[in-house]
Amino acid sequence: MNTLSPEFRHLFIPGQRRPGLLLLHGTGGDENSLIPLGRCLRPGAPLLSPRGRVLENDMPRFFRRLAEGIFDEPDLIRRTHELADFLTGASGKYGVDQWFAIGYSNGANIAGSLLLLRPEVIAGAALLRPMVPLVPEKLPALNGKPVLIAAGSRDPICAPEESRAVAALLKRAGAKVRLEFEDAEHGLTETTVATTQRWLEEANPEK
């Protein structure tokens, strides 16, 4: 395990393919949680998996919330910049110049916030079961950045309207959004993995 400034406990697994995958776990996960998913999504790609720095009842998260689905926006903004700075440092340290974020639940929400506040640090993002993290006063210019929103039509935490709202917001900012619903709840399924894999391949055709 390594540390970088700002300090995030994290795992880095080297690889030759680009982009690398920035893996962002859900509430209660850690830097190990999404490694198997990352390996399966893009074999041979470098994986960078930080642990969220906020603890909620001992469960790591990437930013504070006031209640289920109600986010502490100043904390979210601060943590988004911290994560973006960490990623910039990690890119230099590990020699990886292009990243796609793969975020699940709370990790999807901070990935969405990275797109809205610090889009220069990621080339694309798969948001698995996301919500609208925040609505910035001024939208960024996402200039066709590829974004997948993988939603569950029976998700009690991220309702279908919420997934459509994230998609609409990112489209307004100019992202190339694909919104995919599956017959599922909040948890990830084999279908989510297959959808994400296919989208990653289409967004990054091998030369």
Nearer to ligand MLT, 69 or 95 (CB): 69
Is 193 a binding residue for ligand MLT by CB under 6 A? The answer is no
Name the strands in the sheet holding 10-13, side by side, starting at the edge strand that comes first in the sequence: 10-13, 47-50, 20-24, 99-104, 124-128, 146-152, 176-182
What DSSP element (H or E) covers 89?
helix 73-94
Give the shortest CB-96-to-ligand MLT separation in angstroms.
Answer: 26
Residue from 33, 106, 163, 192 in contact with ligand MLT (CB under 6 A):
106
109 near ligand MLT, judged by CB under 6 A: yes
Residue 64 interacts with ligand MLT (CB under 6 A)? no
Q: Say if residue 134 is exposed, middle or buried (CB neighbours under 10 Å; 0-12, 13-18, 19+).
A: middle
Q: Is residue 103 near ligand MLT by the rule CB under 6 A?
A: no
Among 49, 80, 105, 195, binds ligand MLT (CB under 6 A): 105
Q: Which residues have a Cβ under 8 Å from the Cβ of 201 and sit 6 or more positions away? A: none
Q: Would you say 199 and 148 are in contact if contact means Cβ atoms under 8 Å apart?
A: yes
Residue identified by tokens 């001024």 is 138
Q: Is 155 a catalytic residue?
A: yes
Residue 103 tokens, joined: 């975020």
Please identify, among the stretches 105-113, 115-123, 163-171, 197-205, the one whose residues bind ligand MLT according to the rule CB under 6 A.
Answer: 105-113
Q: Which is nearer to ligand MLT, 35 or 157 (CB)?
A: 157
| Per annotation, catalytic residue among 33, 105, 113, 163 | 105
Closest to 106 measured CA to CA, from 140, 142, 56: 56
Per CB under 6 A, residues contacting ligand MLT are: 26-27, 65, 105-106, 109, 157
> Which positions are annotated as active-site residues?
105, 155, 186
